[in-house]
């Protein structure tokens, strides 16, 4: 089995992020129903489920955009359930958005310089200019090159093509130097040519960064993930290796059924 030979398997014992009995109610509707999920150190974990299964709600709970009705979130041994979103980012949990959330009036260079400055604790500096620190500028250059944004770095973000905007969306998250990275459908809407690059960048993340991927594209999920959780109607249906999930008849019934039908 491929995943057993994976070098990251050695690290797999240590839990980095743990959701314990997370529950979210909107009025009478239970969007997230007692979800437990452990993310191991260095994991490449995928969260799948049909539309409306509560995947994005779950991410919003983890990042603190929503406050859970019940349950706890533990990041590296610390209960972060009550922390504000920005404080969770400070502790290394970073997300990307399914719909691009960018700073439209800034350029990609300014955006990344801001994010890198904020991450290195320079976000409160008010006298030196944004370009003052050489380390920040160097880090920006690395990121711009890595994400193929160098040639558009001085254009306004609102004028960029969709593919570039998508790359910037991911670049912002990586500029935060995450230890836990939550990717919400990272390749959604990315043209085929740029998709490969994006996938390679995600795959090339340092081994100690733990990734939770939400994705509809099954090819991507199976090529990327070493562990999968299936969410249905706000609750965990099952969890296992990609092979186990692919073989699970319940998963086929609710989620992969139509895919198998098309394949057969």
Task: Return residues touching other proteins (CB under 8 A).
Answer: 63, 65, 84-87, 89-90, 94-95, 97, 101-106, 109-111, 113-115, 117-119, 122-132, 134, 137-138, 140-141, 144-145, 150, 153-154, 172, 175-176
Could you count the other beta carbons within 10 Å of the beta carbon of residue 65?
Answer: 13
Angstrom distance (rounded) from CA 238 to CA 249: 11
Across the beta sheet with 29-40, what order do the strands follow?
Answer: 29-40, 15-26, 70-75, 78-79
Q: Which is nearer to other proteins, 166 or 227 (CB)?
A: 166
Minimum CB distance to other proteins, residue 172 (Å): 6
Going 49 to 189 to 225 to 18, the CA torsion angle's sign is negative
Q: Which is nearer to other proteins, 84 or 207 (CB)?
A: 84
Going by C-alpha positions, the residue among 187, 185, 212 that lies closest to residue 45 is 212
For residue 262, give the H/E element and its range. helix 257-263
Angstrom distance (rounded) from CA 264 to CA 255: 16
Going by C-alpha positions, the residue among 188, 192, 249, 243 that lies closest to residue 217 is 188
Q: Which is nearer to other proteins, 2 or 151 (CB)?
A: 151
Minimum CB distance to other proteins, residue 80 (Å): 13
Minimum CB distance to other proteins, residue 105 (Å): 6
Q: Which is nearer to other proteins, 114 or 251 (CB)?
A: 114
Minimum CB distance to other proteins, residue 170 (Å): 13
Minimum CB distance to other proteins, residue 37 (Å): 20
- Say if residues 30 and 70 touch (Cβ distance below 8 Å): no
Q: Which is nearer to other proteins, 116 or 256 (CB)?
A: 116
Residue 125, phi then psi, degrees to nearest 5: -70, 130
Minimum CB distance to other proteins, residue 179 (Å): 13
Angstrom distance (rounded) from CA 61 to CA 214: 14
Q: Which is nearer to other proteins, 157 or 229 (CB)?
A: 157
Angstrom distance (rounded) from CA 228 to CA 44: 9
Minimum CB distance to other proteins, residue 4 (Å): 35
Q: Which is nearer to other proteins, 174 or 202 (CB)?
A: 174
């Amino acid at each position: 089995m491929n995943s057993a030979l994976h070098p990251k398997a050695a690290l797999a014992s240590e839990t980095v992020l743990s959701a314990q009995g997370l529950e979210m109610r909107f009025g009478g509707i239970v969007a997230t129903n007692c979800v437990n999920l452990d993310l191991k150190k260095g994991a490449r974990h995928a969260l799948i489920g049909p539309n409306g299964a509560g995947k994005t709600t779950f991410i919003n709970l983890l990042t603190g955009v929503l406050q859970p009705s019940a349950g706890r979130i533990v990041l590296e041994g610390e209960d972060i359930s009550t922390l504000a979103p920005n404080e969770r980012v400070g502790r290394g949990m970073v997300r990307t958005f399914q719909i691009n959330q960018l700073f439209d009036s800034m350029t990609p260079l300014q955006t990344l310089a801001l994010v890198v400055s904020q991450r290195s604790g320079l976000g409160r500096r008010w006298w030196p200019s944004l370009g003052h620190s050489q380390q920040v500028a160097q880090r920006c250059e690395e990121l711009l090159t890595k994400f193929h944004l160098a040639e558009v770095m001085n254009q306004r973000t609102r004028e960029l093509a969709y593919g570039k905007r998508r790359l910037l969306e991911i670049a912002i998250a990586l500029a935060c130097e995450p230890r836990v990275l939550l990717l919400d459908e990272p390749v959604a809407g990315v043209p085929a040519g740029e998709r490969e690059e994006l996938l390679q960048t995600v795959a090339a993340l340092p081994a100690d960064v733990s990734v939770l991927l939400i994705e509809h594209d099954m090819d991507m999920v199976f090529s990327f993930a070493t562990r999968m959780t299936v969410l249905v109607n706000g609750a965990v249906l099952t969890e296992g290796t990609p092979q186990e999930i692919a073989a699970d008849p319940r998963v086929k019934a609710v989620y992969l059924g139509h895919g198998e039908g098309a394949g057969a």
